[in-house]
Amino acid sequence: MTDLRLSGIGMTSARTRDRLVQRLREQGISNLAVLERIRNVPRHIFVDEALGSRAYEDTALPIGYGQTISQPYIVARMTEALLEGGTLDNVLEVGTGCGYQTAVLAPLVTRLYSIERIEPLLSRARERLRELGIRNVRFRHGDGTVGWKAHAPFDGILVAAAPLTLPEALVRQLKVGGRLLVPIGPEGEQELVRFTRREQRLERESLGGVAFVPLLGGTS
């Protein structure tokens, strides 16, 4: 991948990205490391070339297979909310998708494990992250609803699709003190929730309404 392709021109240029970052600041995103990742990750390489001119709009875009790339605000909000409270060493991402959220989050944690149920999307995401030089991610083609038990417990879990109810398997794989970010609910009624696992309980904090594709089990 050429430097020009990564840096972008016109609607994918650094100036366009700066405007996006400014909008996110105005919407309340304050973590400087997260804002720098939004600025530096070339979102346009994660969408079809025909949609490249829209890559830095603050909106979700289709990536095929009935999936979407999340809007930058949601990616920034989830990343910021996951990181609040300290450094995370061992993190699980459920729903790799095109790999954009993965690329934003990976350099901000020590190790990232990412599961995707749709194999062609996973292959494309793996290729994009390799081209960006991001090396601390392990990918798996699998059912994200059951987590990745071999690498548990996790300091943080980020779920990029919406289950109707909280997947208990993910809660069991969360370290005491760990944080789980997940959109929950049916279409049109979803809310982003941050769970923090304590010794004898699970703290629940609503972070507002969102719209995600549903979290499905199995693989394809």
Check if the beta carbon of residue 190 is closer than 8 Å to that of residue 212: yes
Q: Identify the burial level of 81 via C-beta atoms within 10 angstroms of its C-beta, where 0-12 means exposed, 13-18 middle and 19 or more buried.
A: buried
- Please list the residues that pair with 91 across neighbouring strands: 112, 156
CA–CA separation, 105 vs 83, rounded Å? 9
The two beta strands, 154-159 and 137-141, are unpaired
Nearest partner of 161 among 101, 204, 110, judged by Cα:
101
Out of 70, 114, 206, 220, the active site residue is 70
Whether residue 70 lies in the annotated active site: yes
The residue assigned the tokens 């061992």 is 90
**Token digits of residue 56:** 């830095």
Check if the beta carbon of residue 169 is closer than 8 Å to that of residue 154: no
Query: Letter for the amino acid at 213?
Result: V
CA–CA separation, 110 vs 157, rounded Å? 13
* Residue count of the chain: 220
CB atoms within 10 A of CB 129: 23
Q: Give the catalytic positions in this structure.
A: 70
